């Protein structure tokens, strides 16, 4: 075993060697936090601490396993006796020994999220509540939030503020559902994930002798990612450290981005106030990123008021400036990013796995997935599904398939009872049996169930008829209207919109954004075909296109290098040579959900900080001046966060004749982008952000454009006209766009203006 302490810099070494009392280690991005935690535990064992007297709490099993293995390599097999693991795994271990005091047996089972949701759904049904209002996922989130704040059923029911919130959300019976859920879990000898925290806290709070036993056993407590702890976790750490006061928490307040999961940044900000005499150590050397990227990130995060000040630095090469791209539309933004990836891949020899595209919401992936496919660049969605594989997207597309081919069995099965219309599996099985017996499609049996001998009651027959009429209505619409019109109609009439717009949970918000983005994609498809000269774009045309996309999603997941696409929340803890942070627009990033809360806005800024600090060598920032939303084109202001980055670290490429809204001048190379004034907080509740004095873009006449002209297109940006042919309504122009490549436009439908 070598002297591992020699591998540490001065700041890291000081944090490892201090073990006389409580300590807070603020670990800047890329500063070697895991190394410090690992070596500190190894050092404690070398100083005579018994392995079972050291408790190390992490947020992932992977982090715990990796640290334990690294410690084992330093100190030998004694490391396996460490109490090291996630909060939930460690606390379940304690509860299996002690839970009898609450009436649980040691072999209690643990419900995962789906088990919990299923039980809540059963209780809602038993209480005869409307499951469209009392959605199981919504109630589950409300109960989980209460448990993470250590609010038990009695306290929940007695809290006027909470009950008023439930009233306003039209779920006033939540307190009673919580009570029944709590009781049913106890009766079933079951705990859910939140209960593992709640019962551990109650164990130590209600039974001081048990608390003292563990507080004496754990002579040293270490906690990773302390900025991500919630109230319950914070309280339990206090309980376990009240005797020895030997506690070391490690984290970075600048990377606190999980308040929606209950994380409380105050836990880390106020740690030194809670533990008197606590030492503060700052790990400020970044080993990941270039000097320029680190300085850009520093200049951004210093705008936050709530923080522990530090000056992160890098001794790597200075590196390139952070490049800002402004696109005419979200479509062009996708092309710009993918062109950059392709260029760096060809020129610099960067592998595709050296690139990451980071976005604020899952719905944004569609544009980039399609741009990557056009270039035949392999990619993967990290921590999620490809856009067209998401449940809500497959549900909608199944309705589309039924509208053009009601005999599609898989689509039929998927949507027959979604959204719920009281047609259960038993009825579907009867329909299937009849279809198999008579060698016809399920749709044929659905139209005449009694003729085919399906044994159903009058109520079920009425429900089947209603579904049949709904699909027939869609078929009529599909035969008469274009893909976008019929798609919008189906999404509304099917009930899917009502289903996912019932509440504002993070899961449902993501589904809503995905559905809206699907409609944006259909609109883009129709507009593109229209400009190419196709006046009627049927739903079948769109389905032919999208079926190829969904096929590609499933057969390209083998080995090999791939561009990574992910939300910024998913990117925390990861690093890439080249990072693209996209969609930097007001109401998108920062999110419109911030409202007028400075605390929430500062968390959005921390999220942007996390995104930038994922980059090792190059960081690119991009925004679009327009996006298709809510059925129309909307114009956007650049994110206020762009103005937070010091001018010295930015590079804005010169763009010929840019539209208003973001107007960099030709020089100098690292000129600060002149971003238009951002809207006031109160104005951010509006759906559309206007940019002032944007030149109008209209369909051009056949004599409005000539070979050699430069045009600005609403979706594709700036391009050179290389050929004009035909006349009148059939006049077409072939245009080579700077980022979107070569396109042929039917001039009577094309929306652009001549700029040169």
* Phi, psi angles (nearest 5°) of residue 496: -65, -40
The 10s digit of each residue's pLDDT in 630-642 is 667 788 899 999 9
653 pLDDT tier (thresholds 50, 70, 90) = low
> What Å distances lie between residue 17 and 281, 285, 378, 699, CA to CA?
11, 18, 46, 71
Question: What pLDDT is stored for residue 627 in this prediction?
Answer: 87
Higher pLDDT, 115 or 305: 305
pLDDT reported for residue 752: 86
Which pLDDT does position 401 carry in this prediction?
A: 87
User: Is 80 exceeded by the pLDDT of residue 1?
Assistant: no
CB 715 within 8 A of CB 524: yes
pLDDT at residue number 506: 74
Q: Which of 555-569, 575-589, 684-698 has the highest mean pLDDT?
A: 575-589
Q: Considering the chain, what percentage of its residues have pLDDT values greater than 70?
A: 90
The answer to whether 748 touches 698, Cβ cutoff 8 Å, is no
Mean pLDDT score, 321-338: 94
- Enter the pTM of the model: 0.79
Q: Are 375 and 483 in contact (CB under 8 A)?
A: no
So what's the pLDDT on residue 291? 96
More confident call, 111 vs 249: 249
In degrees, to the nearest 5, what angle opens at C-alpha 24 toward C-alphas 20 and 27? 130
Q: For a pLDDT cut of 90, what percent of the chain falls above it?
A: 51
* pLDDT score of 2: 47
Residues 403 and 539: beta-carbon distance below 8 Å: yes
The whole-number pLDDT of residue 27 equals 94
Which residue bears the tokens 């950059």? 340
> Quick one: pLDDT at residue 621?
97
Compute the distance between CA of residue 734 and CA of residue 744 in angstroms, rounded to an integer. 4
pLDDT at 555: 40
Euclidean distance between the first and final Cα of the chain, in Å?
Answer: 70
Q: How far apart are CA 696 and CA 692, in angstroms?
A: 11
pLDDT digit string, tens, across residues 72-106: 888 888 888 889 988 988 998 899 899 899 998 88
Q: How many of the other CB atoms lie within 10 Å of CB of 21?
A: 15
Residue 83 main-chain phi, psi, to 5 deg: -90, 90
Take residue 554 and report the two structure tokens written for it. Answer: 């499933």
Which tops the pLDDT comparison, 427 or 547? 427
Q: Which residues of 151-178 are buried (b: 16+ CB within 10 A; e: fewer)?
A: bebeebeeeeebeeebeeeebebbbebb
84 beta partners: 56
More confidently predicted of 420 and 694: 420
Answer whether residue 161 shows pLDDT above 80. yes
Per-residue pLDDT at 223 exceeds 50: yes
> Measured between alpha carbons, how far is residue 126 from residues 117, 123, 176, 186, 403 in Å?
14, 5, 12, 18, 36
Identity of the highest mean pLDDT range in 66-70, 208-212, 553-557, 739-743: 208-212
Residue 688 scores a pLDDT above 90: no
The DSSP annotation for 220-288 comes to: EEEESSGGG--HHHHHHHHHHTTTT--EEEEE-GGG---GGGT--THHHHTHHHHSTT-EEEEE-EESS
Compute the distance between CA of residue 677 and CA of residue 671 in angstroms, rounded to an integer: 18
- Of 308, 255, 282, the closest CA to residue 32 belongs to 282
For the stretch 295-321, pLDDT in tens is 999 999 999 999 999 999 999 999 999
**What contacts 478, CB < 8 A, 6 or more positions away?**
403, 404, 486, 538, 539, 540
Higher pLDDT, 251 or 550: 251
* 712 vs 703, residue with greater confidence: 712
Plot region of 557 (φ>0 → left; ψ -120 to 50 → alpha; else → beta): alpha
Interval 235-289: pLDDT, tens: 999 999 999 999 999 999 999 999 988 899 999 999 999 999 999 999 999 999 9
Instruction: Read off the pLDDT of each residue in 40-50 and give the average, rounded to a whole number.
Output: 92
- The answer, yes or no, to whether residue 209 has pLDDT greater than 90, is yes
Least reliable range by pLDDT among 218-232, 253-267, 585-599, 653-667: 653-667
**Tokens matching residue 155:** 């306290």
Cβ-based neighbour number of residue 250 at 10 Å:
24
Long-range contacts of range 461-470, CB-CB < 8 Å, 24 or more positions apart? 463/421, 463/422, 463/423, 464/423, 464/427, 466/421, 467/416, 467/421, 467/423, 470/494
Indicate which residues carry an active-site annotation.
Answer: 33-34, 224-225, 255, 614
Sign of CA dihedral 131, 133, 136, 137: positive
Which of 329-333, 400-404, 687-691: highest mean pLDDT? 329-333
Query: What pLDDT band is residue 704 in, cutting at 50, 70 and 90?
Result: confident
Contact predicate 612/624, CB 8 Å: no
Tokens 């999980």 label which residue? 258
**pLDDT, average across residues 526-554:** 71
The DSSP code sequence of 546-565 is HHHHHHHHHH--SSS--EEE
pLDDT tops 70 at residue 404: yes
Identify the pLDDT of residue 657.
36
- Which range (66-80, 214-228, 592-606) has the least confidence? 66-80
* Tokens (6 digits) for 491: 């999404």
| Rounded mean pLDDT, 434-440 | 85
Task: Name the least confident of 391-405, 528-542, 601-615, 645-659.
Answer: 645-659
**The pLDDT of residue 629:** 75
Q: pLDDT averaged over the chain?
A: 86
Cβ contacts of 77 within 8 Å, gap of 6 or more: none
What is the pLDDT, as a whole number, of residue 147?
96
**What was the pLDDT predicted at 699?**
52
Minimum mean pLDDT among 6-20, 32-46, 336-350, 703-717: which range? 703-717
């Amino acid at each position: 075993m070598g002297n591992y302490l020699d591998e540490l810099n001065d700041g890291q070494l000081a944090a490892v060697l201090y073990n006389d009392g409580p300590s807070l280690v603020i670990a800047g991005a890329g500063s070697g936090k895991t190394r410090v935690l690992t070596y500190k535990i190894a050092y404690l064992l070398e100083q005579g601490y018994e392995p079972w007297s050291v408790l190390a709490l992490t947020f992932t099993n992977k982090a715990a396993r990796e640290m334990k293995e690294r410690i084992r390599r330093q100190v030998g097999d004694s490391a396996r006796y460490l109490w090291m693991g996630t909060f939930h795994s460690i606390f379940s271990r304690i509860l299996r020994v002690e839970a009898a005091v609450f009436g649980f047996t040691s072999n209690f089972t643990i419900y995962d999220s789906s088990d919990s949701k299923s039980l809540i759904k059963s209780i809602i049904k038993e209480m005869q509540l409307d499951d469209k209002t009392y959605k199981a996922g919504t109630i589950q989130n409300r109960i989980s939030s209460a448990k993470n704040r250590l609010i038990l059923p009695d306290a929940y029911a007695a809290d006027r503020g909470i009950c008023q919130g439930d009233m306003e959300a039209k779920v006033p019976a939540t307190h009673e559902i919580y009570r029944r859920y709590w009781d049913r879990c106890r009766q079933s000898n079951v705990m859910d994930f939140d209960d593992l925290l709640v019962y551990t806290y109650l164990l130590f709070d209600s039974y001081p002798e048990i608390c003292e036993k563990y507080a004496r056993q754990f002579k040293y407590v270490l906690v990773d990612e302390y900025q991500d702890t919630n109230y319950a976790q914070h309280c339990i750490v206090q309980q376990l450290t009240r005797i020895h006061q030997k506690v070391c928490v490690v984290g970075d307040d600048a990377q606190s981005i999980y308040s929606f999961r209950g994380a409380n940044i105050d836990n880390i900000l106020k740690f030194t106030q809670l533990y008197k005499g606590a030492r503060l150590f700052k790990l400020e050397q970044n080993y990941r990123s270039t000097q320029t990227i680190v300085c850009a990130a520093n200049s951004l995060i210093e705008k936050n008021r709530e923080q522990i000040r530090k000056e992160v630095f890098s001794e790597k090469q200075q590196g390139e400036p952070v490049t800002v791209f402004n696109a005419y539309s979200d479509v062009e933004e996708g092309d710009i990013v993918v062109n950059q990836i392709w260029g760096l891949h060809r020129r610099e020899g960067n592998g595709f796995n050296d690139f990451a595209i980071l976005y604020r919401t899952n719905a944004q992936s569609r544009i980039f997935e399609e741009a990557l496919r056009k270039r035949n660049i392999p990619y993967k969605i990290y921590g999620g599904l490809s856009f067209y594989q998401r449940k809500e997207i497959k549900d909608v597309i199944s309705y589309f398939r039924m509208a053009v081919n009601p005999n599609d069995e898989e689509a039929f099965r998927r949507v027959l009872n979604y959204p719920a219309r009281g047609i259960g599996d038993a009825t579907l099985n009867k329909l299937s049996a009849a279809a198999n017996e008579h060698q016809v499609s399920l749709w044929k049996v659905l139209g005449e169930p009694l003729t085919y001998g399906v044994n159903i009651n009058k109520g079920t027959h009425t429900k089947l008829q209603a579904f049949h009429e709904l699909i027939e209505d869609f078929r009529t619409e599909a035969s008469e209207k274009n893909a976008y019109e019929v798609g919008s109609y189906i999404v509304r009439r099917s009930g899917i919109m009502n289903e996912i717009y019932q509440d504002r949970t993070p899961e449902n918000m993501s589904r809503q954004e995905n559905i809206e983005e699907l409609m944006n994609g259909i609109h883009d498809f129709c507009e593109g075909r229209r400009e190419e000269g196709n006046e009627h774009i049927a739903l079948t045309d769109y389905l032919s296109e999208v079926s190829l996309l969904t096929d590609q999603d499933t057969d390209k997941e083998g080995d090999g290098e791939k561009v990574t696409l992910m939300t910024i929340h998913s990117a925390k803890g990861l690093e890439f040579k080249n990072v693209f942070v996209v969609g930097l627009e007001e109401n998108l990033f920062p999110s419109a959900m911030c409202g007028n809360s400075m605390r929430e806005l500062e968390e959005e800024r921390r999220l942007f900080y996390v995104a930038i600090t994922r980059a090792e060598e190059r960081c690119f920032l991009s925004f679009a001046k327009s996006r298709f939303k809510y059925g129309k084109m909307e114009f956007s202001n650049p994110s206020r966060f762009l103005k937070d980055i010091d001018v010295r670290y930015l590079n804005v490429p010169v763009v010929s004749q840019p539209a208003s809204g973001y107007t960099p001048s030709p020089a100098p190379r690292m000129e600060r982008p002149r971003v238009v004034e951002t809207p006031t907080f109160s104005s951010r509740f509006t759906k559309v952000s206007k940019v002032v004095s944007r030149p109008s873009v209209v369909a051009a006449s056949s004599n409005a454009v000539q070979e050699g002209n430069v045009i600005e297109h609403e979706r594709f940006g700036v391009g050179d006209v290389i050929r004009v042919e035909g006349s009148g309504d059939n006049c077409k122009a072939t245009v080579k766009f700077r980022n979107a490549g070569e396109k042929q436009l039917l001039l009577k439908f094309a929306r652009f203006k001549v700029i040169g």
